[in-house]
Structure 1
Amino acid sequence: MDVETTLLFVLTAVAVLVVVHWLADRTGLPAAALLTAVGLGFAFLPGPNVVLDPHLVLTVVIPPLLYSAALDSSLLAIRRNLRTMISLSVLLVLVTALIVGVAFDLLVPGATLAAGIALGAAVAPPDPVAALAVGRRVGLPPRLITLIQGEGLLNDATALTILSVAVAVATGERYSTWWAVGRFLLASVGGVAIGVLVAVGVRWVRRWRRDPMTLNAVSLATPFVAYLLGEKAHVSGVLAVVVAGLVIGHDSSRMVSGASRLQVNAVWRLVSFLLEGFVFLLIGQQLPTVVAGLGQYETSTIVLASVVTLGAVLLVRPLWLALTQLLPQSLHTRLGGGEDEDEDDRPDTRRAHAEQRFTGRELAVLSWAGTRGVISLAAISTLPLTFPDRDLLLFCTYLVVLVTLLGQGVTFAPLVRALRMRANAADQARLRNRARAAAVQAGLDRLGEMQKEEHDAIDDQAIAALRAQLESRLARYRQRLDVLRNAESTIPYNPQYEAAVRAQRAVIEAEREELLRLRDVGRLPDSGLRVLERELDHQEGLLPARPAG
């Protein structure tokens, strides 16, 4: 495509993203599924389609998406749930790849075990974008959000390593079980080491430069640096990106100023919005390319291969989750640690959390959260053109992506609602208000220390005004806690609180209108308006979000 055609395509795609996300907000359907459906519809229109370049996706698209998700994740929560994470992102991926490989080898005429394992490795790792979007909208409990998100971050490295082993076997490279295990361990340990190294480098840059623009530029470059270093070192570049993102995100609260953090978060939300949208549109458009190579296969072979792959993908995950619940109690990791915890630190409480297993409803939700995405298509597309049954493997992978994205993605929200798997809003509100009260009390304590240490340097009236402001906030948080103390699962309606929020919005809006009037009559320059408007924007950002719809 020439420059004008490319620009027109990009602008059209952005318009589609805006419309589809608006539609998703109105209907509750996942935007990922809707965008894939739109891409499918576009594929049937006359004219050229954009063909997915697997190397471009793995190098340019996947690193920033994984990095953005890692920044938004919790390193502590993943560490607390490490056994479950390893079970889902390493063992389950390995088991899925082996089962698909064996079934493909035994049931599909002419297929080889190496080809089947390559297919299994491609379709094994879930892409949780659709499930997470729906889960957050319907209020899925934070511990399930943590597990779904953590699995999606860590499983790609496992799948790509298994895929490389399968390709080595199929192309006749020297192979042994110990060689495969060693390659996997080297890729994993090396990827973690590269990720930590990159995070340390970013920490050094943050100490050297703290202005928001520099930190934004460094943040945008970080996932590509981590990925390229990992690939050049012949270890897992994907894992390097994830580890770097987790460590950097964990350090951001201490190492980055508030202004920089707000700007970096806004940039990454935009990057994720655009990249995820383009990716799901591209998935739908790949249909003609995928179908084009099936002419050499019998219809019965295509149907059998599709059924085998889909059956394995849809059945292995719930069976694995159910079987892991039969393991000895000591092998179960702590499932708590999310935002919904509202417990004290008594030993009996910690022990109860340590012994907690998945409930039947949690198993159902986690089983249905296995939507596949672009990483599966990109992985299978990297197979050499001479790889056995490459076109058939590509079609089976594409079918799995479509069925899980459109089938599981669309039905995930109704399933969660039917199972009543909602987060305990009252517990979350209690937890956050306790934290707010503790933070304000720390501020009051620090103010008292400063008044003693710097009595002559600080005006008493300024101290008194600041103390009154903090004490007012502390009283407000404690009042909320009193209201929430007897609440069961939902936040009780508080008409006084709602009226106060409406009043604050009205005051901010009136201030903004007055600033605009002063600008329009020439009494305030635009540069001054932007400074004052930014102050009002920050005040408005502290208010609760407006209700949807």
Structure 2
Amino acid sequence: MHPAATFELVLGMLGAVLLLHWLAARLRWPPSIALLIGGGLLAFLPGAPRVALDPDLVLVLFVPPLLADGAWNAEVARFRRHLPGILSLAIGAVLFSTLIVAWVAHWALPSLPWAACAALGAIVAPPDAIAARTVLQRVELPRRLETLLEGESLLNDATGLVLFRFAVAAAMGAQVGPGAAAGRFLVLILGGIAVGLAVGLVWSLIVRRVRDEVLIITCTALSSWCAYLAGETLGVSGVIAVVTSGLVLGWQQHVVFSAATRLRGTSFWQVMIFLLEASVFILIGFSLRAILVRAGGIEAVLGGLVGPLLAILLALTLARFAWIFASDALLVALRRLGLARERPLGARCATVIGWAGMRGVVTLAAALTLPETFPGRDFILLAAFGVILVTVVVQGSTLGLLIRWMGVRRTAEDAAPLDLMAAEQAMMRAQLARVENLARDEDGTVIHPQLLRRYTARVRAGEQFTGSTEERVQAIASHFDIIIAAVAAGRAELVRLHRANRIDNATLRSLELDLDLEELGAESAKA
């Protein structure tokens, strides 16, 4: 394809992304569903170019920043508290699902070698971080379930990819013993953690010494790719390196970023993640045409492969439920013996976690990396796409309904030790103490009385408010609605003066920035 035509295709794809996102919002669908279906339909339009995904490029381009974004926003304390449960899902459930899918695949297609069946199981076993996040951000779960699913999606790709590499090596004739595989897995994980910590440390040192906001934001954006490539180059898990560095960056950014850097960096990062996330799913949809052609067309699929595909999908779904319910039953037994303090999930929460197993880009990219001579490659590609399509569309679209039907919701146990009002009051007292110290001269004379009155009034207003949190929020909203309206009036006047050539561009931008910051502060306080 000519470079100009490739650029036109990219522009057309971005236009389709915007249209499909708008459509998803109107239909109240998770965007991933609209993008996946839309991409698949666009691929069959007359004259539509064939899109062949380079698996190595897909992994290195999309996976690091999207994983880093999830790690960046993870709650480290909750992550650490629920680490046993996360590891049970990210390692145990993936390994168990791989074995069950391998057994069912060999049963359904006896001609498929065991190693190829294991490779298929490793490809489809790990739920995808990107697919999970696009669905989970539209539902409200108890904090524990949210942490378990987010943590699982961040770590399980490493397990799946390691199992996949061993299975491919075995299928191509290499001898891989269980002991050697376990040792290699441990090296990959620990090495990935070490690389991620090193990247996070280097990033922190750079950010603390650089004053240019653009350089800081660029350095932060590149850190995920640096961690991934460094990990892969050193022969350890690039996925674990990205997650570890993302956790470090997310923890440190509150103390190393200035307010302006945080505002500008967040805006840039949100746009980049939106484009990457949307591109992933529409590209997966575009790849359907090439996969069907390799499988012999839709007739061949409907003729002899539907049965094995349905068997694999059913086995994958049931294996996840079996592991989760068995793990919860084991936790119940351990609590009765006094060997565990963690509460069991219960049937309703376990059902929700079992259904939240959407697959995505890592599954397809791993399948595409199979050598051309790999036994059963075309069937594995078709199975991988079928699993992605069904889990994203069916499970992704019904997860919210299941949560409501099961009555799973946040409770008082999910609340932080300090509620909004208490935290805000503590913050304002700290501000007042600092202002009282700085607003007075050495002899105690007040040199900034307006500032002192302002912060004193804020603290007293909070202390004297006797209503509930909801009433406080309503009062704050009404207060800041007036500020936002005043900002809008000021901005309109600036534009009028600029249009009348009474102020220049520099004056307009300078005063408009003040208004923008005031509006952002008011909207943040109102929210």
TM-score normalised to structure 2 length: 0.91
**1:7-156 equivalences in 2 (<5 Å):** 7-47=7-47, 48-156=49-157
Q: Structure 1 pair 479/12, CA: closer, same or farther in 2 (3 Å)?
A: farther
Residue 194 of structure 1, CA deviation: 0.4
Aligned positions of 1:239-388 closer than 5 A: 239-295=240-296, 302-328=305-331, 354-388=341-375
Mapped partners of 1:292, 1:205: distance in 2 = 49
Residue 327 of structure 1: SS of its match in structure 2?
Answer: helix
The Cα of 1:218 is off from its aligned counterpart by 0.6
Pairing partner for 1:500 from 476, 479, 502: 479
Selected match of 1:401 from 364, 373, 388 = 388
For residues 282 and 298 of structure 1, what CA distance do their matches in structure 2 show? Answer: 21
- For residue 403 of structure 1, give the secondary structure of its aligned residue in structure 2: helix
Partner of 1:472: 457
Write the deviation string for residues 405-439 of structure 1: whole angstroms up to 9, x where unpaired: 11111112222233343445995796232222111
Residue 460 in 1 paired to residue 446 in 2? Answer: yes
Shift in CA distance, 324/43, structure 1 to aligned 2, threshold 3 Å: same
Task: Flag the 1:423–1:542 CA change in 2: closer, same or farther, 3 A.
Answer: farther
Counterpart in the other structure of 2:515: 536
1:527 matched residue in structure 2: 506
Match of residue 512 from structure 1 = 491
Q: CA deviation at 1:58?
A: 0.8
Question: Structure 1 pair 360/219, CA: closer, same or farther in 2 (3 Å)?
Answer: same
Query: Relative to 1, partners in 2 of residues 1:358 and 1:385: Cα closer, same or farther, differing over 3 Å?
Result: same
Q: TM-score, normalised by structure 1?
A: 0.88
Quick one: structure 1 residues 539 and 134, their matched pair in 2 at CA, closer, same or farther if it must change by over 3 Å? farther
Which whole-Å CA distance do the structure 1 matches of 2:486 and 2:113 have between them?
70
Aligned pair 1:410/2:397, yes or no?
yes
Distance change in 2, residues 1:134/1:395 (3 Å): closer
Question: 407-416 or 181-190: which moved more?
Answer: 407-416
Going from structure 1 to structure 2, the CA distance change for 1:241 and 1:84 (only over 3 Å counts) comes to same
Structure 2 CA distance for partners of 1:446 and 1:159, relative to 1, 3 Å: same
Preserved contact between residue 55 and residue 378 of structure 1 (Cα < 8 Å):
yes
Distance 1:21 1:294, change over 3 A: closer
**Contact 1:108–1:301 (CA<8 Å) still a contact in 2?**
no
Supply the distance in 2 between the matched residues of 1:145 and 1:41 (Cα, whole angstroms): 33
> CA separation in 1, counterparts of 2:515 and 2:347?
47
Which residue in 2 is equivalent to 1:342?
none
Report the aligned-residue RMSD: 2.8
Measured at CA, do residues 455 and 418 of structure 1 come closer, stay the same or move farther in structure 2, by a change above 3 Å? farther
* Kept in 2: contact 1:329–1:355 (CA 8 A): no
Deviations 1:41-87 (A, max 9, x none): 11211222211110100111111111122212222221111111101
SS at match of 2:34: helix
Percent identical pairs in the alignment equals 36
Q: Measure the CA separation in 2 of the matches of 1:159 and 1:481.
A: 54
Does structure 1 conserve the Cα–Cα contact (< 8 Å) formed by 2:66 and 2:130? no
Q: How far is 1:18 from its partner?
A: 1.9
Deviates more, 1:215-224 or 1:141-150: 141-150
Corresponding letter in the other structure for 2:46: P
Query: Is the 1:75–1:247 contact (alpha carbons within 8 Å) kept by the matching residues of 2?
Result: no
CA contact 1:196–1:243 (8 Å) conserved in 2: yes
Conserved 8 A contact 2:82-2:144:
no
Alpha-carbon offset, residue 473 of structure 1 = 3.0
Q: Distance in 2 between matches of 1:329 and 1:361?
A: 15
Report the 3-state secondary structure (helix = DSSP H, G, I; strand = E; otherwise coil) of the residue aligned with 1:149. helix
Which consecutive unaligned segments of at least 5 residues does structure 2 have? none
Contact kept, 8 Å, 1:125 with 1:155, in 2: the verdict is yes
- Report the Cα offset of residue 32 of structure 1: 0.4
The equivalent of 2:233 in structure 1 is: 232
Give 1:468 deviation, angstroms.
2.6
Instruction: Quote the Cα distance in structure 2 between the aligned partners of 1:479 and 1:186.
Output: 58
Change (3 A) 1:139 1:531: farther
Alignment: residue pair count: 520
TM-fit CA distance, 1:383: 1.1
Matched position secondary structure for 2:419? helix
Q: Would the alpha carbon gap of residues 303 and 188 (structure 1) be closer, same or farther in structure 2, given more than 3 Å must change? A: same
Separation of aligned partners in 2, 1:119 and 1:264: 39
Contact 1:211–1:260 at 8 Å: present in 2 too? no
Say which is worse superposed, 25-34 or 537-546, in terms of deviation. Answer: 537-546
Query: Cα 1:502–1:256, aligned 2, differ >3 Å: closer, same or farther?
Result: closer
Flag the 1:228–1:427 CA change in 2: closer, same or farther, 3 A.
closer
Distance 1:298 1:220, change over 3 A: closer
Contact 1:380 1:394 in 2 (8 A): yes
Matches within 5 A, 1:471-490: 471-478=456-463, 482-484=467-469
Whether the aligned pair in 1 keeps the contact of 2:126 and 2:359 (CA below 8 Å) is yes
1:113 deviates by 1.7
Q: 1:479 to 1:323 in 2, by over 3 A?
A: farther
What corresponds to 1:487 in structure 2?
Answer: none
**Distance change >3 Å, CA 329–CA 424, structure 1 → 2:** closer
How many Å separate the matches in 1 of 2:162 and 2:347?
32
